[in-house]
Chain A
Amino acid sequence: MNPSKRLLPSGRQLVIGVPFFWLLLFFLLPFAIVLKISFAEVEVAIPPYSEIVSWADNQLSVLLNLGNYVFLSEDELYLAAYLGSLQIATISTLLCLLIGYPMAYAISRASKEMQTVWLLLIMMPTWTAILIRVYAWMGILSNNGLLNALLQGLGLIEAPLQILNTDLAVYIGIVYAYLPFMVLPLYANLVKHDASLLEAAADLGARHLTSFWKITVPLSKNGIVAGCMLVFIPVVGEFVIPELLGGPETLMIGKVLWQEFFNNRDWPVAAALAVVMLAILLVPIILFNRNQAKELEGKV
């Protein structure tokens, strides 16, 4: 064997290495920085936190300040904010699933040409900046906006409905913005289903509804899980939509994090909040991975 070949990584290793390098650079490294700040103390300086690693008298000392995490457990505000975020994320994910599943199902059953058109229509709004789309919703939902004008014009209501600056507006905005992330993975899954399975079920006397629940839904489980993850995880940390559409009562972790960082100049507590949020999000990710692993085992 040629020894020089040994030193060069093989093509296989290189291919595997690229995504790992990507993760290292864009996930692990930033996370390590946030984790480091979360163990620091506030200082009036640039940057506004203390250095936790120091080198003096040939001694390397690492000073971990756990106070920020203790602090988070002392004020019920943070727990309430986490729960608020989880609640909004859970309800929005379910709403996205309820609306997105029939959409994805209908698209996957349409003719090939129409599928392209429908998918394009689903994706088209995402080509506009999210900020502009949220501002459009502000125009629609405000007291003298399109929706209230329409309802009043039809004589359905007398005084305008207060929708903007409430949790309802936040749900509308989030479901609207994240629906494509639910529909696309569901469609990708549903379109691959073998129609002969449904035919066989029909031959055996199953009604449409029965075969839908017994065949289509279980087969699309992976699509459902992928879609729900793609919606749930970013919504937990969502900041823009609740900030613009929500009212002062809308309590989400993104806003509290903003306050710690900007109003209180407390980067360490803000970092600790972010670390805890990631820990909360890791739970569904781990469950998902387990699920996938189990399924792979089942196939073998």
Chain B
Amino acid sequence: MKAFAKTLLAAALAVTVAGAAQADDKVLHVYNWSDYIAPNTLEKFEKQSGIKVVYDVYDSNETLEAKLLAGQSGYDIVVPSNNFLAKQIKAKVYQPLDKAKLSNWDNLNKDLLKTLEVSDPGNQYAIPYMWGSIGIGFNPEKVKAALGENAPVDSWDLLFKPENIEKLKGCGVSFLDSPTEILPIALHYLGYPTDSQDPKQLKEAEALFLKIRPSVTYFHSSKYISDLANGNICVAVGYSGDVYQAKSRAEEAGGAVKVSYNIPKEGAGTFFDMVAIPADAKNPAGAHAFINFLMQPEIMAEITDEVQFPNANAAATPLVAEEIRNDAGIYPSAETMKKLYTTVDLPAKVQRDMTRSWTKIKSGQ
């Protein structure tokens, strides 16, 4: 019996000790997208600040949001996309940034900050981390074989003209499985505003998709990376950085499969992933130190070199590897930039309608 009491006491002590370690300002819980940081970034931060980083990853905004909205997520740093951030700010998920603690703020790209005020007025709650476009990833040889030398690989016509996509069906076509990111492409193609809340325009976008639906192999937000690299599909509407990742993988595998990425000439959607601090973060001081660390140009350039997404740090651009910074698919030209639109937060009702349209497009129900 005595031994049992001792064990209990030891267990109680262990819990107290663990509790003390948790409350310590020396631990920072970071929750970021998978494959979205350079291998040595965290190590450098730990060395510089003496704060230990506990790093977790997720693969969808929805997963992150469910944790944040349930409350007490336990994270000090999270990285939602800008349209999700906007709604989460309204739900009072975040604490305002203390800009006095962010000495590297001026390194950020002023134009992008301004664009982001749609989601975060006054840039109070978040800094942009990486961004990218949603364009066309394709296998040039297979597309040429199906559509001939003049295949419109630089235009949404490739996918929205039934006579084109029908011929691509044989080699495989995929779209992201995300109504709020894909339906605006159809709206844009039809000449409507990308944040349209008009049910009639949304119906037309739905009809456009229903027409080409039989030629779509699947809707998925990550599977296309390996399928493009293996040659299982020949066209994927996807995130720029992910298509470049497929390209790297194909090259590593011997280069038998070629992968290219184009931002269509009509324009394309963009997303921004934002670094923010939850209101109930246990270590806000450490979180600010981490954000300030991330805004150093060298650190940001290293991450871009690794993940092949452009960062939002103007001072970092010259430090990014030349082949990445000169690639118009990754760092678009000023002219292309003008044609890009941001994915914005929509009212719950519109979002529900879009999800419903999407189910109809995908399952026919």
The chain A residues found within 8 Å of chain B, CB to CB, are 42, 44-48, 75-77, 80-81, 143-144, 165, 247-251, 256, 259, 261-266
Question: How many residues from B make CB contacts under 8 Å with A?
Answer: 29
User: Does B362 reach chain A (CB closer than 8 Å)?
Assistant: yes
- Give complex CA distance A259, B219 in Å: 15
Among B63, B218, B356, which residue has its beta carbon within 8 angstroms of that of A248?
Answer: B218
User: Does B249 reach chain A (CB closer than 8 Å)?
Assistant: no
Known: A48-B69, A262-B63. A248 touches B355 (CB 8 A): no
- Give complex CA distance A45, B82 in Å: 18
> For A45, what are the chain B residues with a Cβ–Cβ distance below 8 Å?
91-92
B348 x A249 contact (CB < 8 A): no
CB distance from B168 to the nearest CB of A (A): 16
Among A47, A81, A248, which residue has its beta carbon within 8 angstroms of that of B362?
Answer: A248
A47 x B364 contact (CB < 8 A): no
Residue of A nearest to B351 (CB): A264
User: Does B193 reach chain A (CB closer than 8 Å)?
Assistant: no
User: Does B326 reach chain A (CB closer than 8 Å)?
Assistant: no
Interface-centre pick from A45, A46, A144, A262 (highest chain B CB count, 10 A): A46
Interface SS majority for chain A: loop
> For A261, what are the chain B residues with a Cβ–Cβ distance below 8 Å?
66
Which residues of chain B (52-67) have a CB below 8 Å from chain A? Answer: 60, 62-63, 65-66
CB distance from A206 to the nearest CB of B (A): 51
B355 x A264 contact (CB < 8 A): yes
> For B62, what are the chain A residues with a Cβ–Cβ distance below 8 Å?
262-263
- Give complex CA distance A44, B85 in Å: 12
Which residues of chain B (339-365) have a CB below 8 Å from chain A? Answer: 348, 351-352, 355-356, 359, 362-365
CB distance from B220 to the nearest CB of A (A): 9
> For B218, what are the chain A residues with a Cβ–Cβ distance below 8 Å?
165, 247-248
A144 x B65 contact (CB < 8 A): no
Among A46, A77, A263, which residue has its beta carbon within 8 angstroms of that of B92?
Answer: A46
Interface-centre pick from A45, A76, A248 (highest chain B CB count, 10 A): A248
- Give complex CA distance A261, B351 in Å: 13
B87 x A44 contact (CB < 8 A): yes
- Give complex CA distance A165, B359 in Å: 16
B68 x A46 contact (CB < 8 A): yes
B355 x A263 contact (CB < 8 A): yes
A266 x B364 contact (CB < 8 A): no
Known: A45-B91, A75-B356, A259-B355. A265 touches B63 (CB 8 A): no
B363 x A249 contact (CB < 8 A): yes
Encoded as 1 (CB less than 8 Å from any A CB) or 0, chain B from 206 to 230 comes to 0000000000001100000000001
A265 x B179 contact (CB < 8 A): no
- Give complex CA distance A48, B314 in Å: 37
Known: A144-B232, A248-B218, A262-B63. A46 touches B351 (CB 8 A): no
